[in-house]
């Protein structure tokens, strides 16, 4: 069993069983512990509001999110954030906000990051990526 | 460059547990009945909120 950090793309794909990447994604992450960053949680929570879901579906999303442990920020997170932003700037061509998806926490805890947006993170040295691809 | 792996089973077991961690997930105890396109629309929205360009082709 491994401890995995899922980004927003991974959690949303795992929520919808008919998504083209769902089955393959679940095969990858099943049997492991799931973690998310507080930013991923913050990105997921407005999803029902934006789409005006009913209460039953909102509750399903909450149950889905609750399968994950949420990692919150502290001073060490801020220091790692700064280092990663600098690394991304040096790499060039990357977003100035490359870490919104989550990577500072996987680096801090040495967690592999599961994501369908792996190209956003592949320039980061101290990171293990598990891409979700067909 | 990041290290890319295909299957987490190839990773070594973690020796130090993370306090307060939820148990491993073996099954999903619900079935969302929404349309799969909603997921891609949501992912696109998240990238817009982050001011990131659209995801590059795999």
pLDDT exceeds 60 at position B53: yes
- Which among B18, B55, B58 is the nearest to A109, CB-wise? B18
Contact A33, A2 (CB under 8 A): yes
Cα separations in angstroms, B42 against A37, A72, A113, A127: 18, 23, 20, 25
Report the residue of chain A nearest B34, measured CA to CA.
A16
Cα separations in angstroms, A103 against A56, A98, B9, B15, B34: 32, 9, 21, 21, 29
pLDDT exceeds 90 at position B33: no
pTM: 0.86
- What burial letters (b/e) apply to B10-26, b meaning 16+ CB within 10 Å? ebeebeeeeeeeeebbe
Report the residue of chain B nearest A109, measured CA to CA.
B18
Among A84, A108, A75, smallest CA distance to A3 is for A108
B46–A43 CB contact, under 8 Å: yes
What CA–CA distance (Å, rounded) separates A123 from A127? 9
The predicted structure's pLDDT at residue A107: 56
pLDDT digits (tens, 9 = 90+) for A97-124: 444 455 555 555 678 999 999 988 888 8
To test the contact with chain B by mutation, choose from A18, A25, A101, A106 the residue with the greatest count of B C-beta atoms within 10 A, namely A18
B52–A47 CB contact, under 8 Å: no
Q: Which residues contact A3 (CB under 8 A, 6 or more apart)?
A: A32, A33, A35, A109, A111, B14, B18, B21
Residue A3, Cβ neighbours under 10 Å: how many? 23
pLDDT beneath 50: ranges in chain A: 95-100
Would the ipTM clear 0.85, i.e. be above it? yes
Minimal C-alpha gap between A79 and chain B (Å): 19
What CA–CA distance (Å, rounded) separates A90 from A88? 5
Residue A40, Cβ neighbours under 10 Å: how many? 27
CA angle A67, B43, A76 (to 5 degrees): 60
B25–A67 CB contact, under 8 Å: yes
């Amino acid at each position: 069993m491994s401890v995995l950090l899922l980004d927003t793309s991974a959690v949303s794909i795992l929520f919808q069983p008919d998504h083209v990447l769902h089955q393959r994604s679940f095969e990858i992450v099943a049997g492991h512990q799931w973690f998310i960053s507080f930013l991923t949680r913050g990105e997921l929570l407005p999803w029902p509001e934006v789409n005006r879901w009913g209460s039953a579906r909102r509750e399903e999303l909450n149950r889905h999110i609750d399968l994950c442990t949420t990692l919150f920020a502290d001073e060490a997170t801020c220091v790692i954030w700064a280092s990663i932003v600098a690394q991304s700037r040096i790499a060039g061509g990357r977003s100035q906000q490359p870490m919104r998806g989550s990577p500072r926490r996987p680096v801090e805890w040495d967690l592999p990051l599961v994501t369908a947006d792996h190209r956003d993170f592949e320039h980061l040295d101290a990171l293990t990526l598990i891409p979700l691809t067909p | 460059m990041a290290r890319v792996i295909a299957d987490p089973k190839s990773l070594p077991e973690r020796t130090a547990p993370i306090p307060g961690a939820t148990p491993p997930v073996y099954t999903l105890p619900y079935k969302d009945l929404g349309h799969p396109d909603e997921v891609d629309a949501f992912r696109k929205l998240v990238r817009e909120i982050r001011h990131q360009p659209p995801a590059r082709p795999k």
